[in-house]
Amino acid sequence: ALEDRSCLRVGSHAKLPRAMLLRSSSLPALSRTARRALSGSCCPPGALPALAADEDRDLDGQVIQLDDVNHYVVAAEGTARGGLIVAYDVFGFSGGRIKSVCDSFAKCGFNVIMPDVYTGTEINGFGGLDGFMSGAEETVGWISAQNPAKYMPMLEGCKAFLAGEMGSANVGGFGLCWGAVPVFHAAGAGIIRAGVSAHPSLQAAGFYGEPGQPGEFAAKTGKCPMLLLPAQEDSLDDYGEEGAVTAAVRDLGFACVSHPFPEMHHGFVARGDTSDAATARDVETALQISADFFAEHL
């Protein structure tokens, strides 16, 4: 039997409401940097497919609009221990169990907000993961459009909302896959005080003119305590305890801890099949140690 963790309930059949897919009518031309980033695309081979969204699950939070952008917001149970900004993976605002992840952090005592950076779109509307592997222009053009100029104002707005409306001035960032890039950018800008990256894909920073090597990008931006949760496809040379990202954050003077999940595939935290006992175990472990890390550093 799985250990009973009082603050986490990530059900094996977590279901999320569907989001309408919106296609951009104009995507930017591909830069050389963006094309080079294809060599380390956001989701590595072996990444889990998105779980089907389902309208039947009762969510704990609500969708609000800030500056005409949808945000999922859920209040902490009990006295809040801080605020969290969640940055999802390439499957977007309704990908897999992403809102259940937000709800789980709220049950652990955190006020949570997740901006819909992709504004109603997600990778399956632009070639899917196969588009990354093949270098499809529509896929690379779409991910290139989800850039810091778009998401940094959203992250600033999330921080202001957590502080002003929810009373959480101390804010952390939780990113999954592509979402690790906004988390590190938020750290570099002083938006967050601690960050956690599940199955991180910092190589995706190369789409935005940043270094495509995770360690080099972390050396520019990793300016707060960080927890890394690599899965089996995520390079330990980058994300392991002796990896380049870990070393870069430590060299900047901040704590950095790596907790690998060698049995899990990239994407497991929000998209793994939690009817499988081992996956359910590791999803709960990942969220629990993340909550503990935030509690320590916020």
- Residue range 154-170, pLDDT digits in tens: 999 999 999 999 999 99
255: DSSP letter: -
193: number of Cβ within 10 Å: 19
What residues form DSSP beta bridges with 257? 227
- Give the model's pLDDT for residue 45: 52
Mark the ranges of the chain whose per-residue pLDDT is less than 70: 1-57
> What b-and-e string marks burial along 219-233, b requiring 16 or more CB atoms within 10 Å of the CB?
bebbbbbbbbbbbbe
Give the model's pLDDT for residue 64.
98
pLDDT of res. 71: 98
The predicted pLDDT at position 143 comes to: 96
How much is the pLDDT for 58? 78
Q: Is 85 in contact with 192 (CB distance < 8 Å)?
A: yes
Distance CA 83, CA 85 (A): 7
Question: How confident is the model at residue 155, as a pLDDT?
Answer: 98
Distance CA 100, CA 114 (A): 12
In one-letter notation, the amino acid at residue 15 is K
Residue 280: predicted pLDDT? 87
- Give me the pLDDT at residue 295, please: 95
Distances from the Cα of 19 to the Cα of 22, 96, 121, angstroms: 9, 12, 8
